[in-house]
Chain A
Amino acid sequence: MVSAPAAISSDSQTTTRMSAGNITFFPPQPASPASDGPGSESRAPGLIEIAGLDFYYGEKKALDGINLSIEANRVTAFIGPSGCGKSTLLRCLNRMNDLIEDAGIRRGSIKIGGADINARGVDPIELRKRIGMVFQKSNPFPKSIYENIAYGLRIQGFKNKAEIDSRVEASLRNAALWNEVNDRLHDNALGLSGGQQQRLCIARALAVEPQVILMDEPCSALDPIATAKIEELIHELKKRYTIIIVTHSMQQAARVSDRTAFFYLGRLVEYGGTRAIFMNPSNPQTEAYVSGRFG
């Protein structure tokens, strides 16, 4: 059986497609992350380029002509009211929507590192290793903390125990969880707190060294302390990863993201530096939404 540890979805294990062949998806990233701060209007070349994207659930158009360029080593927040299409777009980026019957892209393209992720010959399992995902509800495997991370590595072909041990530790450290669990690595992961489970899921995604991490409301089920730890982690992780986060918390989007995209009724209404979106949005709909006046 083929699995998709980075995507953290049992369903995705059934979506074997053609091999990626020799398509190069992910050219080397810039040596150092752009760090001109949240809200900066300077633009690095887009790692992810979305052009004219239409997405349908059956005959219902969920995304309408989305054009978006997402920069490497930045945190990009997708915001908007429920049903606006932000999670659908997020799932398009690692082809999680392939798992939904009668749903799909009918127009437009998504390129990551210059390569079309929906092109024939692209293996979605390989794609999801590179585009990790963390969900609203933490979903660790009902196994030990150690196994939650080692499992994906073994699937990837790692056999040397010392190397697996080393990667498990590095992933847990990168997810800021090592100090809390290093003395109980073989305890069941389900015994961890909600916030620890969510960080374990992030560690699991990091173990296969993705380039992009998608987060779909990762803190909505967490208390303020656990939320603060995840936000701190996001801030650290952006030095090495490109992060896209869907959130309903305006304050979270303002705190953690460098750029913010506001969606409404399947359309991208406004996209810009987070500071500009929250200090002086150019679209009245954006201002109404971030001010809590929407509806």
Chain B
Amino acid sequence: MKRFYDTELETFRSQLILMGEKAIERVWLAMRSLAEADTALANQVIAGDDEIDRLEVAIDDEAMRYMNLRAPVATELRLVIVGMKASHDLERVGDEATGIAKRALRLACEPPPGPALTGEIASLAQMAVIGREMLRDALGCLLENENKDTALAVIRRDKEVDRLNKQLHRALTVHAAANPGNINCAIELMFISKSLERIADHATNIAEEMVYLTQARDIRHTGEHKKTGGD
């Protein structure tokens, strides 16, 4: 039976997916502004943070209204709760994108890092690609409620980003020691690496929330994803 307010939940779900798309796009644009030393693009990313913030507030507001007036239970209740939590994670992803864009602006004023850091910059790009895929796959569970394996696979990929981040930190530390004139550049890249690592953490949180949405199981801090394989 269709209820007169069923469309409200579908709109809620769409808003969440829209917010996810916006957050992913902003991370990508921030990384492009870094790679291309495009200060206009970096400024555009920074200015666009408000849009993500407004979406978070709108999603929270709708979730509170729906819980108050519609008294959801079961899957619907989980969707509303997960929506609130995921929107918070996505807002933080937006903040990280802004942080990357700000550092891209600073790096644009620094001397180019030169061929010595080519490998490290490639690692950053790899982290950004993985982070984007993790966010997309995690949010994809909102479209395909039954696909529990996708969420678990997202969680397992977090280790990969952690490993790249550590590797990059070590390499940049060595580079900074050997090239004191290039130390600012190395530090900015370290912070960008950390931002990408945090974006993967938020994608992991969202994936855990999707497991709760689709299976009503709270797997946070249980290490359960390891039981099904992966590292």
- Partner-B contacts on A (CB < 8 A): 250-251, 254, 278-281, 287-288, 290-295
Contact = CB atoms under 8 A, between A and B. Distances in A.
A292 to B, nearest CB: 6
A280 B74 contact: yes
A287 B76 CA distance: 10
A68 B3 CA distance: 32
A281 B216 CA distance: 10
B73 interface: yes
A278 B1 contact: no
A287 B74 contact: yes
A38 B101 CA distance: 50
A91 to B, nearest CB: 28
B76 A291 contact: yes
Nearest to B76: A291
Given A279-B216, A280-B216, A293 B1 contact: yes
B74 A251 contact: no
Interface residues of B, number: 12
Give the 7 A-B residue pairs with the shortest CB-CB distance, closest first: A280-B216, A295-B1, A278-B73, A287-B74, A290-B73, A293-B1, A281-B74
A294 B2 CA distance: 9
Contacts of B1: 288, 293-295
B75 A287 contact: yes
Given A279-B216, A280-B216, A291 B78 contact: no
B77 interface: yes
A43 B71 CA distance: 29
13 contacts: A278-B73, A278-B74, A278-B77, A279-B74, A280-B216, A281-B74, A287-B74, A287-B75, A290-B74, A292-B3, A293-B1, A293-B3, A295-B1
B72 interface: yes
Contacts of A291: 72-76
A250 B76 CA distance: 15
Interface string B75-98: 111100000000000000000000
A280 B213 CA distance: 10
Interface in B62-77: 71-77
Nearest to B70: A292
Nearest to B78: A279
A126 B24 CA distance: 71
Interface in B1-46: 1-3
